[in-house]
């Protein structure tokens, strides 16, 4: 009897196991069927999208932009608020002139502690004309991996031809750019009139997955975006704004005024005229000097926005000469005295040298750009020292940019160089070294 009971129980257990195996097999088969059904649905969606894009291509080839695409791009553009400061970051290189991604990452970690709105990658100060297309995209990918999600990444995607610009724009978007900065084509600048430029930027914006910011930099391109072209382009739903590096405050004010009915944002292209640009309606700045004095440029933005004009004016004046030294921007006569008197135009080599003094990785430029001469380095030093951002004592240089201080305060600094010792008293520079660290030996 007991043996029969045991055998019956074993049979039930065996049947249960077989039933469980059948059910498991049925579930697996159902998963496979669902996978096949999903594959079929994807293929059908792909066929529909292919038909849609063929129709879009016909419309675009006829100079038309489909309404659904305008709506999509307008929604994307409307989400981006450009207000704030952006450093156009430099590209560090190894001694073999390869992109130094390790030093780039170290710079990014330091920039993350500064209240920037975002970063401009592969702009003029990133030496983009000297990088291959693949390198430009890889730099954007590296920055995107490191950049906090709340910071905007604006990638330079301008090329000489419209077709190449569209292709690089799409690659930059895929690499993680929130917007693209598109410079004016300039090799055939004599033919780059308003109709040509409007057509170029319109086609780029029509085909860009992300919003487009126009980039006018006459010092490098030899041409300026005409006012009528900017006004027309401001109506495009996927053109978000303009970075104006020309320094003509009258022109910037006119652009702001003429486009005030559009959601069109103007960024100053230099810290040298940042306060003036804010006074006529600019919403921020893409400033080379922010690579070096990032907190100070952000502070100037804060003072301008909050209406503390006397403080803003004092800080703006102290930034003019250092900015002119590291900039290739030609300033205009909108200041008194005219800033053209102090424009050094030492450009990217000077910017990278100053970055080294202030604890960032600048290093050498890629050939054929040459390093500063000794005379140029001395001039750059004077431009920063005379405005209180550095103190040169003996053979060493101190960074005084980190912490604002009251002009009435005095500090005592001791410097030992070799067997010599001296005391250096200073007051009224408006800054102090946070940890009294020597940043560079020269």
- Where in the sequence numbering do the catalytic residues fall? 243
330 backbone dihedrals φ, ψ, rounded to 5°: -85, 115
Distance CA(212)–CA(181), nearest Å, equals 6
The candidate with the shortest Cα–Cα distance to 139, out of 126, 152, 148, 130, is 126
426 and 410 Cβ atoms separated by less than 8 Å:
yes
Cis peptide before 203 (omega within 30 of 0): no
> And the tokens for 386?
């005379």
Q: What is the DSSP string of 263-282?
A: --EEEES-GGGHHHHHHTT-
The H or E element that residue 249 is part of is helix 249-258
346 and 405 Cβ atoms separated by less than 8 Å:
no
291 and 322 Cβ atoms separated by less than 8 Å:
no
The H or E element that residue 440 is part of is strand 438-441
For residue 140, give every residue at least 6 positions away whose Cβ sits within 8 Å of its Cβ, in sequence order, or none.
Answer: 121, 122, 153, 155, 172, 175, 176, 177
The H or E element that residue 156 is part of is strand 152-156
389 and 400 Cβ atoms separated by less than 8 Å:
yes
> And the tokens for 400?
């005084």
Query: What are the residues facing 182 on neighbouring strands?
Result: 214
Q: How is residue 159 annotated by DSSP?
A: -
Distance CA(26)–CA(32), nearest Å, equals 10
Helix (H, G, I), strand (E, B) or coil at 312: helix
CA end-to-end span of the chain: 102
Strands, E, within 297-395: which ranges? 390-393
Distance CA(412)–CA(426), nearest Å, equals 7
Distance CA(442)–CA(435), nearest Å, equals 20
């Amino acid at each position: 009897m007991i043996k029969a009971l045991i055998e019956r129980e074993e049979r039930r257990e065996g049947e249960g196991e077989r039933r469980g195996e059948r059910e498991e097999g049925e579930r697996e088969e159902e998963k496979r069927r669902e996978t096949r059904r999903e594959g079929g649905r994807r293929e059908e969606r792909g066929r529909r999208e292919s038909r849609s894009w063929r129709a879009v291509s016909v419309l675009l080839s006829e100079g038309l932009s489909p309404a659904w695409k305008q709506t999509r791009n307008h929604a994307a553009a409307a989400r981006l608020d450009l207000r704030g400061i952006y450093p156009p970051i430099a590209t560090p290189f190894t001694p073999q002139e390869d992109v130094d991604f390790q030093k780039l990452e170290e710079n990014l970690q330091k920039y993350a502690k500064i209240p920037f709105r975002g970063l401009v990658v592969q702009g003029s100060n990133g030496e983009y004309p000297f990088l291959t297309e693949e390198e430009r995209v890889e730099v954007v990918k590296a920055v995107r991996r490191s950049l906090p999600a709340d910071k905007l990444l604006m990638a330079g995607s301008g090329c000489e031809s419209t077709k190449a610009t569209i292709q690089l724009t799409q690659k930059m978007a895929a690499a993680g750019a929130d917007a693209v900065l598109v410079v004016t084509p300039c090799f055939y600048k004599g033919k780059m009139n308003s109709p040509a430029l409007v057509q170029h930027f319109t086609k780029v914006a029509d085909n860009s997955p992300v919003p487009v910011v126009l980039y006018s930099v006459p010092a490098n391109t030899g041409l300026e975006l005409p006012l009528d072209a900017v006004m027309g382009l401001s109506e495009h739903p996927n053109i978000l704004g303009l970075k104006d590096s020309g320094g003509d405050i009258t022109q910037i004010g006119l652009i702001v005024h003429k486009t005030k009915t559009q959601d069109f944002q103007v960024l100053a292209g230099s810290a040298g005229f940042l306060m003036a640009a804010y006074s006529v309606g600019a919403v921020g700045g893409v400033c080379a000097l922010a690579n070096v004095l990032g907190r100070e440029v952000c502070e100037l933005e804060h003072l301008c926005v909050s209406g503390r004009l006397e403080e803003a004016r004092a800080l703006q004046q102290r930034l003019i000469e250092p900015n002119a030294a590291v900039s290739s921007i030609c300033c205009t006569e909108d200041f008194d005295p005219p800033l053209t008197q102090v424009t050094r135009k030492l450009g990217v080599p000077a910017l990278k040298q100053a970055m080294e003094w202030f604890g960032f990785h600048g290093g050498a430029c890629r050939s054929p750009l040459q390093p500063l001469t000794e005379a140029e380095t001395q001039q750059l030093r004077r431009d920063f020292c005379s405005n209180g951002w550095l103190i040169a004592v003996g053979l060493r240089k101190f960074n005084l940019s980190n912490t604002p201080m009251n002009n009435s305060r005095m500090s005592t600094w001791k410097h030992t160089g070799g067997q010599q010792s001296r005391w250096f008293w200073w007051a009224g520079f408006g800054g102090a070294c946070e940890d009294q660290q020597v940043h560079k030996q020269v």
